[in-house]
Amino acid sequence: MPSLPKPRLRRSGRVRGPVVPAQEPERLHVEEVEHGGLRWINITRPRSSDREWLQERFDFHSLAYEDVFSRNQRPKIDEYPDHIFAILHFPRFNAEAGRLGAAELDVFVGPGYLITIPNDPIDPVSYLFERCRQSEEVRADLFSRGSGYLLYRVADACVDAGFPMLRKIGGKLEHLEEEIFAGRSSEAVRDISNAKQEIINFRKIVRPQRVVFRDLERSRHPILAEELEIYFDDLEDASERVWQMLEGYKETVEALEATNESVLSHRLNDVLRVLTVLTVIFLPATLISGIMGMNTHVPGQDTIAGFWFTVGAVVFILVGALTFFKSRRWL
């Protein structure tokens, strides 16, 4: 694909077309850090003005720009002669929705520059960028090995940020196990559902990302020097650890769900057993009382002896039924 990204600076004072002074120019979200001839440009939540700024200075392929400024792109890596374009997804907790979602990070990496474009603020990227802005020592450490190494450090920070989320999910599963065996199975149903949903969302984010990290590790692009292979191999290992933890959590939450359903089913069976026993016990008493209360002549009717005989029969049947059920351990 003939895309030749030749970074260039154009004259910003050059104006094309009529100027409309009534419109105030849109504020740029472009941040930049430079050290040793390497620039890191970070654009959070890019708008149309940011796109124009980027297109004026970099001649990337139009399809890459289309991917950057569109939503719901899948993770991928596109290699061009002079640069690499990658779309990465990382887990991010959405406080407004109250659930785990995917934050997209679009990356252009080429000779002398790294451009990160998160569609939503990604804490590891913002934190690392701020450290580079404030510390000369950090800039020297991250920028001295080229843009490929800087890409690795950014991606590695984002992957590592997923481990605290995984530990939090693991803590929830331990708490759920305690709730189930403490007899609070009914309360645990919703918590199990929420934990299961978090694991599913996490897996949906990580699964396609594994292929991208594998492609980065195997890439022979000039931007990713041969000595960086070990670093991207470490990045792939970290991604695999995340996936293995998710696989373990998936099995755990499914086992907890099955256990909880078994406990609830056993509890329901106990209730039904008690109700069945009570029904069987009082059914003969109800039958005898119904017969003795008929408006036809029965032996002992209108006598005190008939009354006590009926009461004695009912009590005898109740005691006999209870004794029988106790001997069979049904009560």
Residue 21 has pLDDT above 70, yes or no: no
Torsion of CA 274, 275, 278, 284, to 10 degrees: -140
Q: Write the DSSP symbol of residue 155.
A: H
Domains 30-265 and 266-327 share a fold: no
H or E element that contains 109 = strand 99-110
Burial of residue 126, with CB atoms counted within 10 A of its CB: 0-12 exposed, 13-18 middle, 19 or more buried: middle
Burial of residue 8, with CB atoms counted within 10 A of its CB: 0-12 exposed, 13-18 middle, 19 or more buried: exposed
Domain ranges of the chain: 30-265, 266-327
pLDDT digits (tens, 9 = 90+) for 259-313: 888 888 878 887 887 787 778 777 777 777 777 666 666 666 667 777 777 778 7
Indicate the pLDDT class of residue 28, thresholds 50, 70 and 90.
Answer: low
CA distance linking residue 292 with residue 269, whole number of Å: 35
CA distance linking residue 75 with residue 216, whole number of Å: 12
For 266-327, which CATH class? mainly alpha
CA distances from 186 to 48, 179, 286 (A): 51, 9, 35
CATH topology of domain 30-265: Beta Polymerase; domain 2 (3.30.460)
Length in residues, the chain: 331
pLDDT digits (tens, 9 = 90+) for 106-125: 999 999 999 999 988 889 99
* Structure-token pair, residue 174: 């331990």
In the beta sheet, which residues pair with residue 102? 91
The mean pLDDT value of the chain amounts to: 82
